[in-house]
Amino acid sequence: MAVHHLLRRGVSGGSPLHQLRGRLLASQELGWRQLSSAAAGEAAAELRGAREDVKQLLKTTSCHPILVRLGWHDAGTYDKNIAEWPKCGGANGSLRFEIELKHGANAGLVNALKLVQPIKDKFSGVTYADLFQLASATAIEEAGGPKIPMIYGRVDITAPEQCPPEGRLPAAGPPSPAEHLREVFYRMGLNDKEIVALSGAHTLGRARPERSGWGKPETKYTKDGPGAPGGQSWTSQWLKFDNSYFKDVRERRDQDLLVLPTDAVLFEDSSFKVYAEKYAEDQDAFFKDYAEAHAKLSNLGAKFDPPKGISLE
C-alpha cells in the first residue's frame, strides 16, 4: 500500500463517535446536556477496545520500543513559545503524514504506523493523536513499567501543511549534549528531572545504525531478536522496563551496551546527575517520576474534545 494512501485512511469523520460528537455540539448550542455522557461513554469504549488490540499487538510482535517512540515523536515537536494550535506542534496526530515521517529523527517510524493502522481502521472514532499516545503508554505498562495517568480526547490535525517543521526533536550526538537536551526539552516546558526520567525509557529498545547512525549492527543481546534481529540496545533485557538503563550507563562495563553522548551526560552534568544517581538506586522513585513525565509529554500541544479529556480508569 502506498505510504500516502496509508496515511490518509481513516481521516474522514463518519463514525458513530463523530456523529455523537456532532450531536453533542448541536445539543450544547440548544442548551441540552443529556448527550454528553453518551458521547464520552462511546469514546471511552472505543479507546478501551483499541487498548486491548494494542496489548495483543505487543504480545505478537514485541514492538514495545517503536510504539513508545511513535508517541514521543508525535508529542515531542511541541514549542511552548507558540500559542496557536496546531502551529505549536505536539500530540496532534501529525506524524501520520509522509512529510513528517520523512524527518531524519523519524526514520523507521513508518513501520510503527503500519502496525497501528489496522487498529485505527477498526476503531475509527479514535484519533491518530490518541492512538499514538495510547500505544506508547500501553507499551510502557505492558513491558513492566508504571501505570501512566493518561487522558484522551486529543484532536487530530487534518492536513500535512499543518505538520511542524523539522528539527524540533533531540539529536543523539550533539556537540554539547547537556545544552542540547535542555534547549529541546525546555522548549517543550520540561525540566531537568523530567529530562532524566524520560531518558530512562531507553531501557527499552535498540539503536540501528541504518536509521540513526548510532550503535553496532548487532550484539549478543540483539542478534536473535525478538522482532527483526540486530541493532545495539542500552540494556541486556531491552523489552523489560526497569531502572537498569541508569545502572548500565553509570557502570559502562559492557561493550555490547550502547551509551550515547546524551546518555553519558546524565552522569556528568551536576544537575542531571542528582536524578540519574537516584534512579539507579531507587526504581520506585524512577517509576513515579517517569509516569508523571510521560503523561505530561503525552499532553503537550494537545487540544482535547471534551476539553477536560476522557479517562479510561
The pTM for the full model equals 0.88
DSSP characters for the chain? --HHHHHHTT-S--SHHHHHHHHHHHHHHTT--TTHHHHHHHHHHHHHHHHHHHHHHHHHH--HHHHHHHHHHHHTT--TT--STTTT-SSSSGGGSHHHHTSGGGTTHHHHHHHHHHHHHHTTTS-HHHHHHHHHHHHHHHTT-PPP---B-BPPP-SGGGSPPTT-SPPSS-SSHHHHHHHHHHHHT--HHHHHHHHGGGGS-EE-HHHHS-S-S--TTTTT-SSS---EESSSSTTS-SSHHHHHHHH---TTS---HHHHGGGTSHHHHHHHHHHHH-HHHHHHHHHHHHHHHHHTT--BSSTT-B---
State the pLDDT at residue 35. Answer: 34
Contact criterion met (CB below 8 Å) for 146 and 140: yes
Per-residue pLDDT of the chain (313 residues; tens, 9 = 90+): 444 434 433 343 445 455 545 544 443 443 333 335 778 889 999 999 999 999 999 999 999 999 999 999 999 999 999 999 999 999 999 999 999 999 999 999 999 999 999 999 999 999 999 999 999 999 999 999 999 999 999 999 999 999 999 999 998 889 999 999 999 999 999 999 999 999 999 999 999 998 888 999 999 999 998 988 999 999 999 999 999 999 999 999 999 999 999 999 999 999 999 999 999 999 999 999 999 999 999 999 999 999 999 999 8
State the pLDDT at residue 17. Answer: 53
Which class does domain 37-168+297-311 fall in? mainly alpha
Is-catalytic flag, 73?
A: yes
Superfamily of domain covering 177-293: Peroxidase, domain 2 (1.10.420.10)
- Return the C-alpha cell found at 47: 479507546
CA angle 128, 130, 131 (to 5 degrees): 60
State the pLDDT at residue 26. Answer: 42
State the pLDDT at residue 96. Answer: 98
Residue ranges covered by each domain of the chain: 37-168+297-311, 177-293
State the pLDDT at residue 23. Answer: 46
State the pLDDT at residue 211. Answer: 83
State the pLDDT at residue 37. Answer: 72
State the pLDDT at residue 2. Answer: 40
State the pLDDT at residue 176. Answer: 96
Catalytic residue among 4, 5, 64, 73: 73
State the pLDDT at residue 31. Answer: 35
